[in-house]
Chain A
Amino acid sequence: MTVAPSLSNGAVDAASISVAADRPELSFGKRGPSPAERARSVLLRLLGLTVSIVLVLFIVGPLVWLAIGAFAKTWNAPSLLPQAWTLSWWKIVFAQPELGHSFWLSLRFAVSATALATVICLPAAYAIGRRRFPGRRVVLIGLFATNAFPKMGLFTSIATLFYSLNLMGTGLGVVIIQLLGTIVTMVWLPAAAFASVSPSMLDAARDAGAGPVRTFARITLPQAIPGIAVALILAFLACFDEAQGTYLIGSPTYITMPTQMYTLVDNYPAPAAAVFAIVLTIPSILLLLLVRRHILGGHLAEGFQIK
């Protein structure tokens, strides 16, 4: 909820800025602004344009480089485009016998970890978002602990624990390690979403005769859905891309796509990794396209605001 509206609002802002920038031109014939005014508006527009270009380059640039790199045969430093093109990297990557298997493995782990995170984290998020209990702040801050330490150090000590629990090299172990990384997202975002449901709306539901359970199902949950959906997407993508922990706990039995990329980066030149990176991006892009209409389009977020 917090992420999506800001994205959509950004788009709206950009549109309104460009409209505002056009306006002086429209009124030009009528009144004619002073040269100083004109110079200032031109300067502002140039500044805006520069910032937009830099931003676009910063975000899209590496992706473009990746896309071109995936088709490069030879590509030497000063040149902007490769000297020779090839599809051979794609052949190499798709010739990997484990590719399909590791893709499904990634998907299965990511779905299981996200589902488990939903079951564990959403009730916690509800409690944190809507209830006041002793130690609430501590819990909230404590959740950050998993992200505060260097991942590899944390995973190593977890590995020691997993050895004694016989979880090393098991699917459950991988799911748990992926789950750990999603907890902050899956608690904080839904907690904020639950908290943002106005108490008077819940009072109104009780007033209309709904008990606590129905009030939650019909009023609280539907309004928190956008926030929960964003958290789910972020959690799923984080699990899908998780490499370090999965590698440490799962290999050699479970090789997911991200861990397989490590091997590829080691064994093949950079372009092969570029191809792999693009393949790895596909689920994210599909997912974003799928939810774009509902979340990034701002339909939900917009419809949920009452002045």
Chain B
Amino acid sequence: MSTPRRAANPDATAPGLQLEGIAKILGGRTIVDHLDLAVDKGELVCLLGPSGCGKTTTLRMIGGFLQPDAGRLQIDGIDYTHAKPERRPTATVFQNYALWPHMTVSKNIAFGLAVRRMTKAQIKEKTDWALDLLGLQHHRDSMPARISGGEQQRVALARALVLEPEVLLMDEPLSNLDAQLRVQVRETIREIQQRLGITTVFVTHDQEEALSIADRVAVMSGGRIQQLAPPAELYRLPRTKFVAGFIGTMNVFESGPVAGSIPFTGGGSLPCASFSGRRGNSCWVRPEDIQLTDAGAPGTGRAVVLRVIPRGHYREVLLQSHGTALRAFSDDDPQPEQVVGVRATRALVYSDDLLVEDEESVVAEQESAGENSRSTASAGGSEKYRSA
């Protein structure tokens, strides 16, 4: 920890951070369940999941604040599984910032340097570097309680970065900021993280935050990583139903593909151009993958527009087809009660919990689609609208 960041690296090929079979049981409950995770050097990985999924517990074990009950933890190839927090090359940005209220901003930042017995000149130089990096020079002598939440957040980040950690840990660092500031600070964090090339683990329950900041996102549930993938892949090919339901919005149909379309439970079906796999027992379709056409166009089903919600550059359209509710994101502007044609361009097929993915995504045969949807056109079903 007292050595410069990238000098004392015994194994250049080792991942920046590696967890192998890490487990934690608290109060008889398995919080983290034999979790494996490898974070490359300079990579930012988000741990994303609902509360209670074990993401913060995992982060606390990386920081050394909790001892894992099983497994191994390595940083740059060196084992730190049982090292105390003060002996680890990690630095944490806490959810509530945890700034020391009796010290000024610069004292907060300098604390860890003073602990390392640096000279006054060194401490000043590094503190100034951190203050400049986060634009905090004008607050160097302010008390933490006297500055805004966004500034407190930046002090917390400066305090962590000045330690030149091998791994930067961030525990929902943006959750206490208002929406606008959150986006702004998020950009700052990402920019600095990339500039310094610092290995980072970032915990959040906000999928938008995770998708926009991370190199890879680990979606967690029940103490396990459900899927670890770059944001685009995570969105396009969620491996499990949990991930599919957690990331973005979905239309869920509880049946597998039949002859190039997705049958509804109440009769009727949604024609679909391509499926992720051939066999399965449920189909999931993103709202932006549902296209609206003129009523009766070939290869479409019939649906009635219930509501149109303006979302800025697109519209969210709630529809009903044969008693089944649909949600589409569309550039068109249909009117409520208008009858339109619907078809899906792409559907994800799941068998039980897992994504079915054939070598090539299956392009549907078009012929049987049209007749299915035209047969039963009862638009006024009573089934409640359902979203994924």
**A interface, CB within 8 angstroms of B:** 198, 200-201, 203-211, 214, 218-219, 222-223, 302-307
Contact (Cβ within 8 A) B65 A209: no
Contact (Cβ within 8 A) A204 B92: yes
Contact of B94 among A200, A210, A304, A307 (CB under 8 A): A200
With an 8 A cutoff between CB atoms, is B85 at the interface? yes
Q: Pick out which of these stretches binds chain A: B35-43, B95-103, B193-201.
A: B95-103
Known contacts A207-B85, A209-B116, A302-B145; decide if A200 and B101 are in contact (CB<8 Å).
no
Contact of A219 among B95, B97, B100 (CB under 8 A): B100
Residues of B within 8 A of A205 (CB): 100, 111
A302 and B102 alpha carbons, distance in the complex (Å): 10
Residues of B within 8 A of A223 (CB): 100-102
With an 8 A cutoff between CB atoms, is B149 at the interface? yes
Contact (Cβ within 8 A) B99 A306: yes
Residues of A within 8 A of B111 (CB): 205, 208, 210, 218
Contact (Cβ within 8 A) A206 B65: yes
Contact of B145 among A201, A210, A219, A303 (CB under 8 A): A303
A210 and B101 alpha carbons, distance in the complex (Å): 17
With an 8 A cutoff between CB atoms, is B112 at the interface? yes
Known contacts A214-B115, A303-B145; decide if A207 and B101 are in contact (CB<8 Å).
no
Known contacts A302-B145, A305-B145; decide if A206 and B86 are in contact (CB<8 Å).
yes
With an 8 A cutoff between CB atoms, is B228 at the interface? no
Contact (Cβ within 8 A) A208 B145: no
A58 and B112 alpha carbons, distance in the complex (Å): 52
- Write the nearest CB–CB distance from B113 to chain A, whole angstroms: 9
Contact (Cβ within 8 A) B96 A200: yes
Contact (Cβ within 8 A) B90 A207: yes
Could you write out 6 A-B pairs with CB less than 8 Å apart?
A200-B98, A201-B99, A201-B100, A208-B91, A306-B101, A307-B149
Beta-carbon contacts of B287-312 to A below 8 Å, as 1s and 0s?
00000000000000000000000000
A209 and B110 alpha carbons, distance in the complex (Å): 12
Residue of B nearest to A206 (CB): B85
- Write the nearest CB–CB distance from A229 to chain B, whole angstroms: 13
With an 8 A cutoff between CB atoms, is B63 at the interface? yes
Residues of B within 8 A of A302 (CB): 145
Contact (Cβ within 8 A) A304 B65: no
- Write the nearest CB–CB distance from A306 to chain B, whole angstroms: 5
Residues of B within 8 A of A198 (CB): 96, 98
Residues of A within 8 A of B159 (CB): 204, 208
Contact of A304 among B91, B97, B102, B163 (CB under 8 A): B102
Contact of B63 among A207, A306, A307 (CB under 8 A): A207
Residue of B nearest to A198 (CB): B98
Residues of A within 8 A of B116 (CB): 209
A303 and B65 alpha carbons, distance in the complex (Å): 28
Contact of B143 among A203, A222, A303 (CB under 8 A): A303
Contact (Cβ within 8 A) B98 A211: no
A307 and B97 alpha carbons, distance in the complex (Å): 11
Residue of A nearest to B91 (CB): A207
With an 8 A cutoff between CB atoms, is B152 at the interface? yes
Residues of A within 8 A of B160 (CB): 207
Sample of 17 further A-B pairs with CB below 8 A, known A204-B159, A208-B111, A210-B115: A198-B96, A200-B94, A201-B98, A203-B63, A204-B92, A207-B91, A207-B160, A208-B91, A208-B115, A209-B1, A209-B112, A210-B86, A219-B100, A302-B145, A303-B143, A306-B101, A307-B149
Residues of B within 8 A of A208 (CB): 86, 91, 111-112, 115, 159, 163
Contact (Cβ within 8 A) B86 A304: no
- Write the nearest CB–CB distance from A298 to chain B, whole angstroms: 12
Q: Which of A209, A219, A307 has the most C-beta atoms of chain B within 10 angstroms of its own C-beta?
A: A209
Contact of B163 among A200, A209, A305 (CB under 8 A): A209
Residue of B nearest to A305 (CB): B145
Contact of B101 among A209, A214, A305 (CB under 8 A): A305
A198 and B102 alpha carbons, distance in the complex (Å): 13
Residue of A nearest to B102 (CB): A222
Contact (Cβ within 8 A) B86 A203: no
Residue of B nearest to A201 (CB): B98
A204 and B108 alpha carbons, distance in the complex (Å): 10
Contact (Cβ within 8 A) A203 B163: no
